[in-house]
Structure 1
Amino acid sequence: MTVFTIHLPCVLFLLTGIPEQEHIHNLWISLPLCLIYVISILGNVVILFIIKTDPSLHEPMYIFLSMLGITDLGLLIATMPTILGIFLEISFDACFAQLFFIQSFQCIESSVLLLMAFDRFIAIRDPLRYVSILTLPRIAKMGLVCVLRGVAVMLPLPLLLKRFQYCRVNVLSHSYCMHQEVMMMACSDTSVNNIYGWFITVLTVVLDLLLIFLSYVMILKTVLSIACYKEFLRALNTCVSHLCAVLVFYTPEVSLTLIHRFGKGSSPLLPIVLGYCNLLVPPLINPIVYSMKSKYLRSRIIRVFVK
């Protein structure tokens, strides 16, 4: 007797968030997540408003900071409907669109952090030519390249996923769509996606981190040649905010990449927590760090809320 196996393609992905904890998700996770979203959106919007309305802040460093804020807002908007539990299930097309926007905004943020490292390098290495090198038209072109890079690199992801047949359990362990997890739901050969995933990792995370590291090597070399101790500390102090932003962004990003590639026996809760950190911590921390380190920006923020 012949046994026939019929694969019925699923038409929806079900979103969970934390394995085996779905029944208490709305009680002790949704409220803190909602608070994080409110603080993150408010913080980034306030900083963008201050930079836009204050002509004295129309400098390269603050323009790059506004780029970072816009990118963080885009990332928050892309993840908000599913992470906050507004939608507990998502269609294929919506899932592919979400993972495209998430990956694109993260790629753009990585590019912006690289530009900010270049900004600090020019400011410390060649301060007299700083304004003439980083002109507004040049900064605009840099920002456009960041956006085009993010879109061009990430656009093949949903296109590659769309060609697969999905016949496995359609429950995602995250509360948003990720390329690695969606790819595992396919019952087709995913070799091309795996190779392209590695290509993206090298082209974005590895390359950007390497260039940021080289920028700081050159910055450190320049700073060590400064004879005056006060000037030495002042030069280093201008880099603290950016270094914090780099650590906050890349630490969960790299950890999550390594776990998805090599951590087969790790706890299922670990990638979930790192995933939340990867998406929510940078937009939350960046406005706080930059407002704390910049006295003028901090005073302008206080003035906005005191009025």
Structure 2
Amino acid sequence: HFLTDCPFCCSYWKLNRRSNLHEPMYLFLSMLATADLLMSTTTVPKMLAVFWFRVREISFTACLTQMFFIHVSFTVESGILLAMAFDRYVAVCDPLRYTTVLTQSVIGKMGLAVVTRSFCIIFPVIFLVKRLNFCRSNLLPHNYCDSMGIARLACDDITVIVWYGVAVAIFAIGLDAVLIAVSYGLILRAVFRLPSKDARLKALRTCGSHFCIILMFYIPAFFSSVAYRFGHIIPGYILNLLANLYVLIPPMLNPIVYAVTTKEILKRVISVFYRCCSRSSLLG
């Protein structure tokens, strides 16, 4: 029940705006940034080694480790986006209870649940892949290790791995996407019931950054998955490009989107940059 057009709500929001970055939204952003850093740290160094130094070899143990952290970070990011969708729903539809519903304790439990779910979902894949016997080409289709890329090189039956991957895609990533869509449906229903056009624009603006992040996360992953299923009719360089975009676009653009569209973050970044420049000039 949105209450933005009354003076009480405006004063309430001003009182509850904090000068530091410890509001629920910023805590979720820190979790998202951590997942992005894990994804980048897991994939980018090996990609650069492949492109710059032609170091194309990787041990099986290192490949399994990279595969595990890639899938975990992707699943964690999907869960965090779902949690952020709930955050936006409370902020738009019930703003007076925003800081009471989303306390630091609740946010911490949500983050722990997201990480635990991701670990429990991806950990069995390690055993499924490790038990395979390999007797074919050892050339991976991408610049990084993923479960299906490794499994397709095996001589054994990979039906279990294929169906497990489908189940994870449907009941984890797919379910997150459906729940995010439901939350935004409820948000839009509440927004379009507002009498004032300015109030509707303000409400939509609070969700704009998060919506852009969702698109940048799910669209490359969707196209990469579809292209991989039809790899026999799609050129290899297209598959490689989509696979790289799937792991590089979200970590690269997420900080830019939120830093540009969120005034508090932009001010803090400018302040830190100004202090660093001042210190360097004094040292110089």
Residue 176 of structure 2: SS of its match in structure 1? helix
Match of 2:199 in 1: 231
- 8 A Cα contact 2:231 2:239, kept in partner: no
Question: Normalized against structure 1, the TM-score is what?
Answer: 0.80
Match of 2:31 in 1: 67
Map 1:157-306 onto structure 2 (within 5 A). Answer: 157-306=125-274
Match of 1:79 in 2: 43
Uncovered stretches (5+) of structure 1, i.e. residues with no partner: 1-53
- 8 A Cα contact 2:66 2:145, kept in partner: yes
Match of 1:93 in 2: 61
Matched letter for residue 212 of structure 1: I
Distance 1:259 1:281 in 2: 17
1:55 offset after TM fit, Å? 6.0
- 8 A Cα contact 2:140 2:149, kept in partner: yes
Match of 1:28 in 2: none
Matched letter for residue 165 of structure 1: N
1:258 offset after TM fit, Å? 1.4
Match of 1:103 in 2: 71
**Could you list the per-position Cα deviations for residues 48-73 of structure 1 after superposition, in whole angstroms to 9, with x for gaps in the alignment?**
xxxxxx96210100100010001100
Match of 1:125 in 2: 93
Matched letter for residue 166 of structure 2: W
Inter-CA distance 133–180: structure 2 relative to 1 (3 Å threshold): same
1:264 offset after TM fit, Å? 2.7
Distance 1:246 1:74 in 2: 18
Matched letter for residue 24 of structure 2: P
1:263 offset after TM fit, Å? 4.1
CA RMSD, 1 decimal: 1.3
* Aligned-pair identity (%): 41
- 8 A Cα contact 1:180 1:260, kept in partner: no
Uncovered stretches (5+) of structure 2, i.e. residues with no partner: 1-17, 276-284
1:132 offset after TM fit, Å? 0.9
Distance 1:201 1:193 in 2: 12
Residues matched between the structures, number:
254
Question: Normalized against structure 2, the TM-score is what?
Answer: 0.87
Distance 1:174 1:261 in 2: 14
Inter-CA distance 263–80: structure 2 relative to 1 (3 Å threshold): closer
Match of 2:278 in 1: none
Runs of 4+ aligned structure 1 residues displaced above 3 Å come to none
Residue 195 of structure 2: SS of its match in structure 1? coil
**Could you list the per-position Cα deviations for residues 166-218 of structure 1 after superposition, in whole angstroms to 9, with x for gaps in the alignment?**
01010112111011111110000001001101011002221111000001000
Distance 1:262 1:199 in 2: 19
Question: Greater relative contact order: 1 or 2 (C-alpha under 8 angstroms, separation 6 or more)?
Answer: 1
